Structure 1
Amino acid sequence: MTDTRAPLISARDLRVTFPGRRGGASARAVDGVNLDVAEGEIVALVGESGCGKTTLARTLLGLQRPTGGTVSYRGQPLGYGSKALKAYRREAQLILQDPSGSLNPRHTVYDAVAEGLRIHGEVADERDRVADALSRAGMRPPERFFLRYPHELSGGQRQRVVIAGALVLDPTLIVADEPVASLDASVRGEILALMLRLREELGLAALVVTHDLGLAWNIADRVAVMYLGRIIETGPVEKILTAPEHPYTQALLSVLPEGGQPVVLSGEPPDPSRVPGGCRFHVRCQSLASGVAEAAGVADLCRTKDLPVLDGRGTQAACHLAQARQLATSGEGGHVQHQG
């Protein structure tokens, strides 16, 4: 089912390349991405380390300028002048993986949360807003934490302070990069529950960057699976995590406790400066290696024919085998849109 809400933030044919080392080929960190996040929606961006997730997130926030394509916020292309970016960063806030690295050890909790207000010159009711943000983030009573320093807090409390620092500016979008990866299991659930509650109370939209499909299952409305600079499968979380069609998504899911027989992918993710021809996953694809793609008559396509960029809407898989299976079962393409 396609989400009919207007996107709050939208990427179209987004590309980010970095110069190669010693004059070598450029690294295609983001290599053609279409992605929407609607108001009040939580989208999980999942994939292995090095697939381009963090670069995509930074580009959506305006922290990295794209090499090509556009980022739009509320239908308007993102401007990269200092005034435009300052206004945008009031609306879109980043929560990083390591709260210890996000907090200045010499700043009190109060100063850490008030920093955004001071940057934007909004200090008239600073104390009340800091207290409100800390309270929303679950630090109650907030005044008890004002004069504490990061080293006096637990890991979960530090992450709550980071979240309060993002909330104090009343943003509409949160980009959370591995927001619970450094936390104990007992605290992870608390922080995820907090993010869901903030969505309900404030209407916040969120892009949650993670390698953990279990986290995506617990928090997301939609999932976008990224591999080697591109989104290769996307759709509602229930569909993608219970009936994935791309072999890469199937492999990621297989390592979960109830994921069945683990799929061991051969080799490491390819170098983004040497993207393979054909399907970019084919050199590690278990369906190609096992002969399943050959039996379906798509093995040559897998090795030689690139797949177009997914349009970012509905349920899609950038996979020749998935397309062949869909055509075989429906004859009409069905309700699932495949590109390839």
Structure 2
Amino acid sequence: MTETRTTEEAPATTSPSLLEARDLHVEFPSRGRRARAVDGVNLAIGEGEIVALVGESGCGKTTLARTLLGLERPTSGEVRYGGAALDYGSKALKAYRRQVQLVLQDPTGSLNPRHTVYEAVAEGPRIHGLADEREVVSTALSRAGLRPPDRFFLRYPHELSGGQRQRVVIAGALALNPRVLVADEPVASLDASVRGEILALLLRLRSELGLSALVVTHDLGLAWNIADRVAVMYLGRIVESGPVEQVLTAPRHPYTQALLSVLPESPERVVLTGEPPDPTRIPGGCRFHARCQVLASGRAAEAGVDGKCRSQPLDVLPAVPVAQAACHYAEI
């Protein structure tokens, strides 16, 4: 986490929800059981707002993102866009995916090595039958910072740097003029010197185009630098959320505290024991209690909440802009 945030000015007030998950559950069959990959999530992204979704690998972040994109159907609950429940009919879903676009973490894997930059960016406009294809591609490349755009038309992915490839992926999303970007680890595969450029690009797109974004990441430092709000996910559920400065400077949930402790600026390192539990066997009580440093240290017992931690489930957090944490110890 850096000393000063690199964000451009964030929206002054909370915007109406543009994209929303309401009591979302997504389950998959797994060895004769049901894996609860997303187990009750409320999450809202306002117009012009950047929300960071943070957590360890396997916590359900990517499944939640795919469900918000319409690539997975919820077992229960719903995705809402512009105030209306998502329609999974093929025509409606095609229109929706023009509005909500995915940016993948690995530009090398998401770009066809046999396609030129022009073909890669033009693919979406061709699927959706947009007119003035050349102009659409040129504008998208320019907005993504590849200028002059025609200099890149006939290049292939292997002729570009990692940062340029990620800009091509972003241009492919921008070509459809979306309102929301869902970026899954957008800078994870990039060198440190390029990461800041891509983050600055996402912020500039928010400022110039009014884009909203959900940024999926395991990196709380990235969340600090780009997001207005942060949602921390553990074992299929959001356990803490709120304005990024408030959550990351005064985290209330022990899991958030542990994630923050790996940053160089942290005064104390918290080492979590074990791995996240099997999503087919979610523990009773607080789902984090088996790994919780507050419970293990005896502080929860001193506060008289250790029994609750082991046996009493916590309510699903609502989609509200204020800071909140699903933790018995934090509630005292």
Q: Return the TM-score normalized by structure 1.
A: 0.93
Q: In the alignment, does 2:105 pair up with 1:91?
A: no
Residue number in structure 2 paired with 1:193 = 200
Secondary structure of the corresponding residue to residue 252 of structure 1: helix
Name 2:60's counterpart in structure 1: 52
Structure 1 residue 3 displacement after superposition: 5.7
In the other structure, the counterpart of 2:122 is 114
The whole-number CA distance in structure 2 between the counterparts of 1:9 and 1:136 is 23
Pick from 174, 180, 195 the counterpart of residue 181 of structure 2: 174
CA distance 1:115–1:32, shift in 2 (3 Å): same
Supply the distance in 1 between the matched residues of 2:143 and 2:13 (Cα, whole angstroms).
29
Give 1:5 shift.
2.1
Equivalent residues of 2:25, 2:76 under 8 A apart: yes
Matching residue of 1:37: 45
Q: Quote the residue 1:328 is aligned against.
A: none
Checking the alignment, whether the CA contact within 8 Å between 2:15 and 2:49 is kept in structure 1 is no
How is 1:151-170 mapped onto 2 (pairs within 5 angstroms)?
151-170=158-177
Deviations 1:270-302 (A, max 9, x none): 111110000000000000000000011100000
Secondary structure of the equivalent of 2:271? coil
Secondary structure of 1:255's counterpart equals coil
207-216 or 254-263, which deviates more: 254-263
Q: Spell out, residue by residue over 1:121-171, the C-alpha distance to the aligned partner (whole angstroms, 9 max, x if none).
A: 11x211011011001101011000000000111111000000000001110
Q: Are 2:246 and 1:236 aligned?
A: no
**Alpha-carbon displacement from aligned partner over 1:2-25 (angstroms, at most 9, x marks no partner):** 96421001111000000022x2x2
Which of 271, 275, 279 is 2:282 aligned to?
275
Q: Deviations over 1:159-210 (max 9, x none)?
A: 0000000001110000000000000000000000000000000000000000
- What pairs up with 1:189-228 in 2 under 5 angstroms? 189-228=196-235
Using the TM superposition, give the Cα deviation of residue 259 of structure 1 relative to its aligned residue in structure 2, in angstroms.
Answer: 1.3
Matches of 2:203 and 2:121, distance apart in 1 = 21
Asked if 1:101 is matched to 2:114, the reply is: no
- The one-letter code matched in structure 2 to 1:30 is V
Q: Show the counterpart of 1:17.
A: 27
- Post-superposition Cα deviations, 1:203-235, rounded to whole Å, max 9, x if no partner, equal 000000000000000000000000000000000
Pair 1:138-2:145 in alignment: yes
- C-alpha distance in 2, partners of 1:162/1:125? 20
Structure 2: gaps spanning 5 or more residues:
1-11
**3-state secondary structure, aligned to 1:26:** strand
Task: Tell me the amino acid that sits aligned with residue 20 of structure 1.
Answer: S
> What is the letter of the counterpart of residue 63 of structure 2?
T
**Which 4+ residue blocks in structure 1 deviate beyond 6 angstroms?**
none
Amino acid at match of 2:185: E
Counterpart Cα distance in 2 of 1:274 and 1:249: 22
SS state at 2:51 partner: strand
Could you say what secondary structure the match of 1:320 adopts? coil
SS at match of 2:315: coil
Q: Percent identity?
A: 76
Other-structure match for 1:321: 329
Q: Per the alignment, in what secondary structure is the counterpart of residue 53 of structure 2? A: strand
What is residue 184 of structure 1 aligned with on the other side? 191
Query: 1:4, 1:11 → 2: CA distance?
Result: 17
User: Does the 8 Å CA contact 2:163/2:190 hold for their aligned counterparts?
Assistant: yes
CA distance in 1, matches of 2:298, 2:166: 47
Would you say 1:27 and 2:35 are equivalent positions? yes
CA distance in 1, matches of 2:155, 2:79: 39
Residues of 2 paired with 1:84 and 1:307: CA distance?
36
Q: Which amino acid aligns with 2:104?
A: L
1:230-309 alignment runs, 5 A limit: 230-309=237-316
**Are positions 1:5 and 2:5 aligned together?**
no
Distance 1:199 1:5 in 2: 14
Distance in 2 of aligned mates of 1:12 and 1:243: 27
Residues paired across the two proteins, number: 320
Compute the displacement of 1:81 (Å): 0.8
Normalising to structure 2: TM-score of the pair?
0.95
- Which structure 1 residue ranges, 5 or more long, are not aligned? 325-340
